[in-house]
Structure 1
């Protein structure tokens, strides 16, 4: 276990240093990821003027988006297409290590470059965050980041079967946008749709930490939400391992 931790740490360090040389591209990615939460902030603040919970939710959602977004369709899928996966398979470490390091490194720079956007959005919206709410939301944020990595990683592995992995991941991102709480906070949906939305994994990847920090998720609903989130973490971890093993058998069968 300690060896794995060291390997992940080294991968994060290498990735962070490498990405600094791409900082202009990273800033562009940050702006791109910030567009939908900021639009949601403007639209819903105009629709519900004076509702501070909505403004707080979307400002926190902006931060959650920046620290959970994954790009495995660019790193993993492209590595499969250009043959880089074959080189990774002969390295004395699990293949996932480098991709996990790249993922965390990118999220680090997303947060660093995104802080000015978060501060400006919060100031314009007049948001005041509760430190207790933020503390309670932090575990949910960490699990959300893991969920989104596993989800995107599993979808990116579709590159082992098809040349349209970017489209597959794009479909997954669309589901996160629609059902994860960006298009509309799930709390605004009618009861049957809200319950179904909270039971799906997409809300656990994005909207749940934002609702906790905004103070709209409390008590028994909060405990239940954490249970659903952890359940999806186990399920997606198992699914990703199964997809990887199936894809690897196909990859090696064609002469990799």
Structure 2
């Protein structure tokens, strides 16, 4: 395990250096992640009864989006199409180290470059966070980052079977937008859509950490949210492993 962590740390550093010259492209990625929450913020601030903490919620959503963004349909899937994944199979390390290292490096750059945007939005809408609420949200943020990576990486492995992987991942992104807390906070969804959204993994990828950060959840709701996030992390982890085994079996058979 320590060897894998060492390899992952080196991969993250290598990717951080590699992406350092593409700051202009990273800015476009930041804007792409922030547009939908900003639109949600603008819309829901005009709605009576949305709550005084709606600004804090959407600022937290932007922060979570920057720290959990995944683009494996553009990185890992392209490696499958180009054949570069074959070289990764020959390296003395798990193949997931490469995609995970690049994923974390991109997130670090996006958050660092996105700080001015976060400060500007926070200053404009006048937000505030309780320190204890932020601490309670940190484990949920880690789970959200893991969930989003596993979800997108699993969908990106559709590249083993189809050339339309971008459409597959785009459909998953729509589900996150609708049920994850960007289109509307979970508390403002009508029943039974609210309960469905709570049970599916998409809220855990985005809205749940933001709700914890704003302190709007009761201890019971927070505990239930954490339990759902942990269960889905295990499930999606199993899905990712299964998709990889099936996909690489097909890949090596076709390439033989």
- Give the alignment of 1:236-247 within 5 angstroms: 236-247=236-247
Mapped partners of 2:66, 2:194: distance in 1: 24
CA deviation string 1:81-132 (max 9, x = no partner): 0110111111111111011000000000110011111111111111011111
Normalising by structure 1, report the TM-score: 0.98
Question: In the alignment, is the contact (CA less than 8 A) between 1:52 and 1:127 conserved in 2?
Answer: no
- Give the alignment of 1:87-166 within 5 angstroms: 87-166=87-166
Aligned to 2:81: 81
Question: In the alignment, is the contact (CA less than 8 A) between 1:12 and 1:105 conserved in 2?
Answer: yes
The structural deviation recorded for 1:32 is 1.3
The structural deviation recorded for 1:48 is 3.4
1:52 is paired with a residue whose SS is coil
The structural deviation recorded for 1:50 is 8.2
- Give the alignment of 1:202-217 within 5 angstroms: 202-217=202-217
Mapped partners of 1:124, 1:11: distance in 2: 38
Question: In the alignment, is the contact (CA less than 8 A) between 1:59 and 1:118 conserved in 2?
Answer: yes
The structural deviation recorded for 1:55 is 1.0
Computed over aligned residues only, the root mean square deviation of the Cα atoms, in angstroms, reads: 1.1
> Kindly tell me: are residues 149 and 212 of structure 1, through their superposed partners in 2, closer, same or farther at Cα, counting changes over 3 Å?
same
Question: In the alignment, is the contact (CA less than 8 A) between 1:140 and 1:209 conserved in 2?
Answer: yes
The structural deviation recorded for 1:51 is 2.9
In the alignment, does 2:188 pair up with 1:188?
yes
Normalising by structure 2, report the TM-score: 0.98
Question: In the alignment, is the contact (CA less than 8 A) between 1:11 and 1:102 conserved in 2?
Answer: yes
Question: In the alignment, is the contact (CA less than 8 A) between 2:44 and 2:50 conserved in 1?
Answer: no
Question: In the alignment, is the contact (CA less than 8 A) between 1:212 and 1:218 conserved in 2?
Answer: no
1:129 is paired with a residue whose SS is coil
The structural deviation recorded for 1:49 is 7.4
Mapped partners of 1:185, 1:191: distance in 2: 13
Aligned residues: 256
> Kindly tell me: are residues 8 and 182 of structure 1, through their superposed partners in 2, closer, same or farther at Cα, counting changes over 3 Å?
same
Structure 2: 5+ residue stretches without partners: none
Moved segments of 4+, more than 4 Å? none
The structural deviation recorded for 1:190 is 2.5
